[in-house]
Amino acid sequence: MSSSFLLRTGARSSACRMSVQSTRITRNPSLAAQTTLGRRMQASDTKTPRGVPESPKTTGTAESVATTELGATEISELFPPGSQPAAYECSGAPVQLLHRAVKIYQPTRNTMQSGGAKGEKWRIDWDTLPGAGRWENPLMGWASSADYMQGTRMSFDSAEDAIKFAEKQGWDYYVQPPTVKRIPPKNYAENYVYKPNKLRIARTK
């Protein structure tokens, strides 16, 4: 019984192996055929789809050169080289700004400030001028809140940059010359120097 059972199980296992091998052999050619068919379809499908526009072909003929030159002349007529439109033409700013003069100046140092770092910049301000559209309260000297440019503050590195910006915006401007800083010589021994006249500050004679 044991020998016959072993023979039967061996036959079954060999049959199973043969069936598995046969299925594997039959599957591999089909997969290979599918992959080769896909490769053939990809190689033969060289036409562009209908929805995609084809790129224009440039042959270099006289007609194509003429159309290219015509487009270049049209662009040069619209935007001639070296010319730049003024900023107020396309900025959307109100027309009332063109009737107001601006002041370009270098602000002085604050009395509570020891350093002069913030006094090197140049500023543009809408000064209170007759007919400039800005007025002040005669009691306090404050600018009226109806002026929508009173809170505007623009700083520039130099006076030339501020002038160029004002000209590009179409504003009338005037430049206030900067004040010359005079720093008198100071030393500690000056407090003890004898001065015959009356001293402005109480010092030791």
The model's pTM is: 0.45
- Chain position carrying tokens 């194509």: 64
pLDDT tens digits, 171-196:
889 999 988 878 777 778 777 778 78
Evaluate if residue 3 carries a pLDDT over 90.
no
pLDDT band (50, 70, 90) for residue 135: low
Architecture of domain 87-109+119-175: 2-Layer Sandwich (3.30)
Mean pLDDT of the chain: 66
d(CA 150, CA 136): 11
| pLDDT for res 29 | 47
| pLDDT for res 160 | 93
pLDDT tens digits, 26-62:
344 444 444 444 444 444 445 555 554 455 454 545 4
> Could you tell me which residue, 101 or 84, shows the higher pLDDT?
101
Q: Distance from CA of residue 89 to its chain's centroid?
A: 21
- For 122, other C-beta atoms within 10 Å of its C-beta total 21
Half-sphere exposure of residue 158: CA atoms within 13 angstroms, side-chain side: 3
